[in-house]
């Protein structure tokens, strides 16, 4: 079953059509990536509107819907909606700004319905990955693992965080990534206590911990991993923190399988860390789903009570952050299976001292 047809099967009865305007959902439903375009879906058909830049490629790649060349995308969509006598149009409620909502309502004569759960239905479809999607994510993670191995030969005293981040991004591309999966994080020394520290011109020093969080994108499907390494050695206190984070992660990895509840998995990691260091040192969720977006649903978080399904791809990334001192995060990317999980991240997790 193609994805457009699958969406038609669950399209809300209260709408006559769905208008998909976000690039990521257009790609998911049609298999075609473009920076601009609009996808109109009814129960009887689907039309992908693109401009001259994408028309030839879309005609070759897109199946299960008609590709329409349009110089003015919005006007072309309006004309199609008028021709089909569509009265109520569902929009992606999670992708439209207030300004855009007003523009679409004006263009389409007040026919837009922003309460129809179009975005939610597509998000639900995206949660379980197909074998084709998994193949791309596996390739993206393989590239990330190879890049991490390369970085272990690059790290030395005197190299700054920005240089390391550039080397990661360059290596990802050199090894086959379309692009980096997100903005690469490299933090050293006291900067590691900030979970999403931006790389700076700080030079790495002997005795530093170095945290690297990065991933690759293959056909827009993403990977995500984090490793924390030491330059020259680590203290007994740092070792205690590292082993606590590693143990918390292993507890979650051992428990993950289809049917378990997300908040329970988060609690497994959180309880272990809080018993040792209190509740203030681990302030982010234990993990998040990954796919065409780097952050998808569901999440391993206290606020998420959903059950995991086979084929869901998500990170497991507990951490401990001691402000002004240092931090440790260890992150793997896994696929949920019926009786466990498949860990896609092959890089070593025991202490690496350079």
Where do the domains of the chain lie? 3-127, 131-343
pLDDT confidence band for 120 (50 / 70 / 90): very high
Kindly report the average pLDDT of the chain as a whole number: 96
pLDDT over 60 (residue 5): yes
pLDDT confidence band for 81 (50 / 70 / 90): very high
pLDDT over 90 (residue 267): yes
pLDDT over 80 (residue 66): yes
Specify the CATH class of 131-343 in words.
Answer: alpha beta
Question: Looking at residues 194-199, what average pLDDT do you find?
Answer: 96
CA dist 194 and 206 (Å) reads 20
What percentage of residues in the chain have a pLDDT greater than 90? 99
Question: Looking at residues 329-349, what average pLDDT do you find?
Answer: 97
Specify the CATH class of 3-127 in words.
Answer: alpha beta
Question: Looking at residues 219-236, what average pLDDT do you find?
Answer: 97
**Residues 114, 96 contacting (CB under 8 angstroms):** yes
> Looking at 223-330, which runs of residues are DSSP E strands?
225-230, 287-289, 296-300, 313-316, 319-322, 326-329
pLDDT at 1: 53
pLDDT at 48: 97
pTM across the whole model = 0.94
CA dist 62 and 57 (Å) reads 8
DSSP 193: G
List strands edge to edge, sheet with 225-230: 185-188, 209-214, 225-230
pLDDT at 282: 97
- pLDDT tens by residue, 140-154: 999 999 999 999 999
**Cα-only R_g, the chain:** 23
Cα atoms in the 13 Å half-sphere on the side-chain side of 17: 27
Question: Looking at residues 183-196, what average pLDDT do you find?
Answer: 98
């Amino acid at each position: 079953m193609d994805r457009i047809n699958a969406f038609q099967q669950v399209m809300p009865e209260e709408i006559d059509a769905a208008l998909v305007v976000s690039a990521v959902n257009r790609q998911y439903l049609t298999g075609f990536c473009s920076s601009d375009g609009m996808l109109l879906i009814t129960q009887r058909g689907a039309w992908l509107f693109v401009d001259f830049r994408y028309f030839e490629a879309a005609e070759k790649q897109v199946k299960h819907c008609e590709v329409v060349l349009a110089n003015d995308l919005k006007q072309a969509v309006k004309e199609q909606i008028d021709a089909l006598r569509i009265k109520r149009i569902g929009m992606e409620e999670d992708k439209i700004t207030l300004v855009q909502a007003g523009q679409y309502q004006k263009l389409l004569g007040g026919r837009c319905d922003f309460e129809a759960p179009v975005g939610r239905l597509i998000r639900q479809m995206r949660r379980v990955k197909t074998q084709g999607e998994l193949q791309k994510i596996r390739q993206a993670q393989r590239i990330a693992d190879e890049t991490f191995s390369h970085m272990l030969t690059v790290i030395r005293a005197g190299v700054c965080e920005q240089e390391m981040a550039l080397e990661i991004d360059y290596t990802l591309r050199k090894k086959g990534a379309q692009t980096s999966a997100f903005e690469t994080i490299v933090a050293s020394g006291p900067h590691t206590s900030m979970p999403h520290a931006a790389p700076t011109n700080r030079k790495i020093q002997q005795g530093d911990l170095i945290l690297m969080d990065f991933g690759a994108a293959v056909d827009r499907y993403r990977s995500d991993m984090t490793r924390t390494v030491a330059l020259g050695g680590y203290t007994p206190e740092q070792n205690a923190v590292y082993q606590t984070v590693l143990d918390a992660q292993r507890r979650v990895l051992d428990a993950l399988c289809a049917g378990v509840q997300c908040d329970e998995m988060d609690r497994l990691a959180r309880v272990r860390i809080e018993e040792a260091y209190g509740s203030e040192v681990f302030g982010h969720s234990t993990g998040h789903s990954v796919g065409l977006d780097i952050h998808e649903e569901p999440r391993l978080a206290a606020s998420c009570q959903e059950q995991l399904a086979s084929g869901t791809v998500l990170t497991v990334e507990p951490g401990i952050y001691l402000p002004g001192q240092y931090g440790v995060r260890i992150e793997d990317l896994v696929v949920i299976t019926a009786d466990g999980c498949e860990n896609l991240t092959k890089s070593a997790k025991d202490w690496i001292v350079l």
